C-alpha cells in the first residue's frame, strides 16, 4: 500500500541571516530555532514535533483534525512569546529573528520527508522577497509571518481569536527562477521603527485590489490630522486627544495612537491619569513592555485606591508587562494582589493559571483555572458575551493543556 495522503496545515520557520553567522553561531541559532518552535507548539496545544528540518529552517505539520481558527492565532502568539523569552538574555549578535510561512493542503509522506503542493508553496513563501524584506523594513520585529491567500481568506479575514485582519497587508510573492508566484498576506510582530507607509489589512473591501491599498501614515508637517479617519470625531483638547487615541486602539492602530498622545499636554491629575492609561495600552500593543510598565506603575501610584477603576485593568496589564519582561514572581504578586481586593477579576485567574502551568505547578494552576471558569460560567455582571466566550475558550484550553494529576499531588510548597 502506498503512503497515505492527508490535508494539513504547513508551518515553515526560517532564521534571518543564518548563513552569515560563523559555524558555532549557526549551531546556537539552530538550537534556539528548535527550542522556540517546540515551545510554541507546546503552548499552542500542538504536538512537539518537527517533521522536516534544514540548516536554518524547520517544517511543522499539525494533525489534520485541528481547528485552524484556534491553532493559527495561538501558534503565532506563542512564537512571539517564545522568541522574546529566547532572545531577552542574549547579546544582539546571538539573537534570532524568524520568518513563518503558513499554507494548507494535501501532503504525502515520502522517504525523505513530506511532499505536495502545500509543502512546496510553504517553502517558496518562506523564501520569497516580501517576507525577507519585512524583517529589514521593521527592525523591531522578531517575527514576520506570510500567509497564503486561501488560508488568509478562510481564517485571518474572519477575525478568529487574537489575529486581526487589519494587521496584515497583501503582497505578491514571486520567485521567477522557480516559476512561483502567489498572492499572500504579511504580518510583523512589531511595526515600531518601520517605514512611514504602513500597509493596512482589509475591513470590508470586496476585492483584492482594495485590500492591498496602502495606509499612509499622517504627516503633521503637511498639516494632516493624525486621526482624520477615526470614528471618534474631531479632536478637542487633551481629553479629546485621549478619546481619539482610544478609538485608534479599537481600530488596531497603536502607532497612530502614540503619535497623537505625544502631542498631549495634560492639565491636571485626571487628564494625566487618562493619558497614562491609554498610552500604556498602546505601548503594550507595540511590544514596548518596559515603557508600558513605567506608565502603569505611575498610574497606580496616582490612585488613592488601586482597585478603583482604572486600577483593576492597570493591575492586570502591569502583571502582563512584568511577565513579558521576565519578572515572573512580580507578575504573580500583582495578580494575587488584584484577586485579594477584587475576587471577581476573572482574567487574573486565567493569567495566574497560565503562569503556574508554565512553571510546572499544575495543581495550583488547576485551582486558579477552575475558579475562573466557575466565575465565567456564572456570567458575572457587566461581562459582554464576546468577552465571556473568549475567556471561556481560554480557560478550557489551559485546563486541557494540564497533565492528568495524581490525587496525592500537591505543589503548594513548590
At residue 131 the predicted structure's pLDDT band, cuts being 50, 70 and 90, is very high
- Nearest Cα neighbor of 143 from 76, 74, 71, 53 is 76
pLDDT at 199 over 60: no
> H or E element: which one contains 171?
strand 169-175
The predicted model gives 256-260 an average pLDDT of 86
**What pLDDT score was predicted for residue 100?**
95
Query: Which pTM does this prediction carry?
Result: 0.52
Report the 10 Å Cβ neighbour count for 252.
14
Q: Is residue 302 a contact partner of residue 280, using CB atoms and an 8 Å limit?
A: no
Domain boundaries, the chain: 6-216, 343-414
C-alpha span between 141 and 192 (Å, rounded): 8
Hey, which residues does 185 pair with through a beta bridge? 147, 170
Three-point CA angle 169, 171, 173, nearest 5°: 145
Burial of 15 (0-12, 13-18, 19+ CB in 10 A): buried
Q: How far is CA 340 from CA 298, 312, 345, in A?
A: 21, 11, 10
Q: Peptide bond before 411: cis, by omega within 30 degrees of 0?
A: no
**What pLDDT score was predicted for residue 223?**
37
C-alpha span between 43 and 328 (Å, rounded): 17
pLDDT at 197 over 50: no
pLDDT at 265 over 50: yes
Q: How far is CA 209 from CA 214, 215, 237, 392, 401, in A?
A: 10, 13, 38, 37, 41
The predicted model gives 105-123 an average pLDDT of 79
C-alpha span between 185 and 166 (Å, rounded): 11
C-alpha span between 259 and 241 (Å, rounded): 10
Average per-residue pLDDT in the chain?
79
The predicted model gives 234-253 an average pLDDT of 77
> 211 vs 135, which has greater pLDDT?
135
> 149 vs 405, which has greater pLDDT?
149
Report the 10 Å Cβ neighbour count for 354.
20
pLDDT at 221 over 60: no
Q: Is residue 234 a contact partner of residue 226, using CB atoms and an 8 Å limit?
A: no
Span 151-190, pLDDT tens digits:
999 888 887 767 788 888 888 888 888 888 889 999 998 8
> 121 vs 51, which has greater pLDDT?
121
Task: Quickly name the fold that domain 6-216 has.
Answer: Alpha-Beta Plaits (3.30.70)
Percent of the chain with pLDDT over 90: 17
pLDDT at 4 over 90: no
**What pLDDT score was predicted for residue 99?**
95
- Nearest Cα neighbor of 282 from 258, 310, 303 is 258
pLDDT at 369 over 60: yes
DSSP state of 92: G
pLDDT at 77 over 80: yes
At residue 405 the predicted structure's pLDDT band, cuts being 50, 70 and 90, is low
Q: What b/e string do you get for 179-194 counting C-beta neighbours within 10 Å, with b at 16 or more?
A: ebebbbbbbbbbbbeb
- Nearest Cα neighbor of 376 from 384, 76, 174 is 384
Least confident of 3-7, 48-52, 100-104, 128-132: 48-52
At residue 392 the predicted structure's pLDDT band, cuts being 50, 70 and 90, is confident
At residue 360 the predicted structure's pLDDT band, cuts being 50, 70 and 90, is confident
Place of cell 519585512: 134
The predicted model gives 255-265 an average pLDDT of 84
Q: Is residue 255 a contact partner of residue 286, using CB atoms and an 8 Å limit?
A: yes
C-alpha span between 145 and 135 (Å, rounded): 10
| 213 torsion bin: left (phi>0), alpha (psi -120 to 50), beta (else) | beta
Percent of the chain with pLDDT over 70: 82
The predicted model gives 374-384 an average pLDDT of 74
pLDDT at 408 over 60: no
Span 306-349, pLDDT tens digits:
777 888 899 999 998 888 877 888 889 999 999 988 888 899 99
Grid cell digits, residue 145: 509571518
C-alpha span between 216 and 198 (Å, rounded): 6
pLDDT at 122 over 50: yes
**What pLDDT score was predicted for residue 208?**
34
**What pLDDT score was predicted for residue 214?**
35
- Nearest Cα neighbor of 128 from 74, 172, 72 is 172
**What pLDDT score was predicted for residue 109?**
73
SS3 118: helix
Hey, which residues does 12 pair with through a beta bridge? 59, 101
Calculated CA dihedral for residues 369, 324, 88, 51, nearest 10 degrees: 40
Grid cell digits, residue 38: 517546540
**What pLDDT score was predicted for residue 220?**
33
C-alpha span between 107 and 9 (Å, rounded): 9
Amino acid at each position: 500500500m502506498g503512503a497515505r495522503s492527508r490535508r494539513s496545515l504547513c508551518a515553515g520557520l526560517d532564521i534571518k541571516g543564518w548563513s552569515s553567522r560563523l559555524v558555532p553561531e549557526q549551531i546556537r541559532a539552530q538550537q534556539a530555532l528548535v527550542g522556540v518552535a517546540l515551545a510554541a507548539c507546546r503552548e499552542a496545544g500542538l504536538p512537539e514535533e518537527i517533521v522536516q528540518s534544514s540548516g536554518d529552517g524547520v517544517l511543522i505539520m499539525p494533525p489534520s483534525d485541528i481547528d485552524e481558527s484556534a491553532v493559527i492565532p495561538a501558534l503565532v502568539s506563542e512564537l512571539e512569546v517564545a522568541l522574546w523569552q529566547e532572545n531577552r538574555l542574549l547579546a544582539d549578535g546571538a539573537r534570532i529573528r524568524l520568518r513563518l510561512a503558513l499554507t494548507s493542503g494535501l501532503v504525502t509522506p515520502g522517504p525523505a520527508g513530506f511532499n505536495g503542493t502545500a509543502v512546496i508553496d510553504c517553502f517558496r513563501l518562506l523564501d520569497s522577497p516580501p517576507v525577507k524584506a519585512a524583517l529589514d523594513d521593521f527592525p523591531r520585529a522578531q517575527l514576520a509571518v506570510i500567509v497564503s491567500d486561501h488560508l488568509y481568506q478562510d481564517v485571518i479575514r474572519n477575525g478568529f481569536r487574537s489575529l486581526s485582519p487589519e494587521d496584515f497587508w497583501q503582497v505578491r510573492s514571486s520567485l521567477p527562477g522557480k516559476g512561483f508566484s502567489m498572492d499572500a498576506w504579511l504580518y510583523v510582530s512589531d511595526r515600531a521603527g518601520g517605514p512611514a507607509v504602513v500597509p493596512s489589512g482589509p475591513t470590508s473591501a470586496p476585492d483584492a485590489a482594495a485590500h492591498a491599498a496602502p495606509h499612509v501614515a499622517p504627516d503633521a508637517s503637511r498639516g494632516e490630522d493624525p486621526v482624520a479617519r477615526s470614528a471618534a470625531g474631531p479632536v478637542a483638547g487633551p481629553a479629546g486627544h485621549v478619546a481619539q487615541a482610544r478609538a485608534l486602539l479599537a481600530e488596531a492602530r497603536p502607532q497612530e495612537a502614540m503619535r497623537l498622545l505625544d502631542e498631549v499636554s495634560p492639565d491636571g491629575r485626571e487628564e494625566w491619569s487618562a493619558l497614562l492609561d491609554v498610552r500604556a495600552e498602546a505601548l503594550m500593543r507595540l511590544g514596548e513592555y518596559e515603557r508600558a510598565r513605567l506608565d502603569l506603575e505611575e498610574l497606580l501610584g496616582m490612585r488613592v485606591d488601586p482597585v478603583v477603576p482604572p486600577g483593576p485593568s492597570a493591575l492586570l496589564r502591569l502583571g502582563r508587562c512584568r511577565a513579558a519582561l521576565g519578572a515572573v514572581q512580580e507578575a504573580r504578586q500583582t495578580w494575587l494582589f488584584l484577586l485579594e481586593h477584587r475576587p471577581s477579576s476573572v482574567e487574573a485567574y486565567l493569567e495566574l493559571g497560565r503562569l503556574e502551568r508554565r512553571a510546572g505547578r499544575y495543581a495550583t494552576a488547576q485551582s486558579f483555572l477552575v475558579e475562573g471558569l466557575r466565575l465565567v460560567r456564572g456570567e458575572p455582571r457587566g461581562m459582554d458575551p464576546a468577552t465571556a466566550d473568549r475567556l471561556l475558550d481560554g480557560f478550557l484550553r489551559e485546563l486541557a493543556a494540564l497533565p492528568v494529576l495524581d490525587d496525592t499531588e500537591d505543589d503548594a510548597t513548590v
